[in-house]
Amino acid sequence: MFVTPAALALTAMGLAFAALVNLPGAHAAADAGEAPGEAPRYRVGDTWVYTEINQLSRQVVGSIVREVTQVSPDIRIATRDEAGKTLDDAQFRSAGLQTRGSLGPGAGAFEPPLELRPFPLRPGHQWTQKTRMSDAYWRETRLMRVTGRVEAWEAVRIGGRDMRALRIIRSMSLGDADGFRGDTQRTEWEWWVPEVRAPARLIVWEEHREPDGRFGELIIDRHVRYELEDARLARP
């Protein structure tokens, strides 16, 4: 699918606005006195079930399950599909610092660790980072750039319950350009719920430019939404 930069910008703005305003259970909750979102204390067995939705067709793709399999010395969170196949085995030095896992079209180790969430999370906080992924499959090292912002507290509805979520936006340049394709640009909108130690919603947009820059064309690689359907938190 090919789109011009202008058309893409308008489409992205429209979809982003719809994502932030029109999705069920998402509305702003302004409260200047809200406490910061502290880092979660994961336990082995913590499990979250998500529905995956294609944002372009609005069709349900399937479901995935994320489970904490280890908390010491590093945190490990496995992602599996409906058939039980492992899609990712992410490792974290701490709750917000990822040292290994899949990201966009690549998978490998991050050095320094990829900062996904700068705990404690406070609205208005911004961060930038450069890191390198050692891609195990392609046997190459890629320079990645990340910028992020903690936007605001909002209310979300999960399983019939209203919960508080922090909306986070991350913009990433994944550094996978080669002779056949340009660099992948990835944007994530995340609604992080401290109460369940996980996002209630995650929207992912990925696109890349043709390497010769023909007419400034961009190709949409992926545009999906993950909705939390169930959270099963392990007891001490």
- Is the pLDDT confidence value at 51 over 70? yes
Q: Which residue has the higher pLDDT, 213 or 160?
A: 160
Q: Which residue has the higher pLDDT, 136 or 50?
A: 50
Domain boundaries, the chain: 2-232
Q: What is the pLDDT of residues 81-128, one digit of tens each?
A: 999 999 999 999 999 999 999 998 889 999 999 999 999 999 999 999
Give the model's pLDDT for residue 15: 41
| Pair 168, 190: CB distance under 8 Å | yes
- Is the pLDDT confidence value at 23 over 60? no
- Is the pLDDT confidence value at 52 over 70? yes
Nearest-angstrom CA–CA distance, 190 and 178: 29
Instruction: Kindly state the tokens that stand for 203.
Output: 């929207």
Strand partners, 227: 51, 201
Mean of pLDDT values over 36-62: 96
- Is the pLDDT confidence value at 1 over 50? no
- Is the pLDDT confidence value at 156 over 70? yes
Beta carbons within 8 Å of 220's beta carbon, 6+ residues apart: 1, 3, 8, 56, 205, 206, 207
Quote the mean pLDDT of the chain: 85
Give the pLDDT band of residue 21 (cuts 50, 70, 90).
very low
CATH class of 2-232: mainly beta
Query: Alpha carbon of 235 to those of 47, 66, 159: distances in Å?
Result: 12, 17, 20
Q: What is the pLDDT of residues 69-92, one digit of tens each?
A: 999 999 999 999 999 999 999 999
Q: What is the pLDDT of residues 181-204, one digit of tens each?
A: 788 999 999 999 999 999 999 999
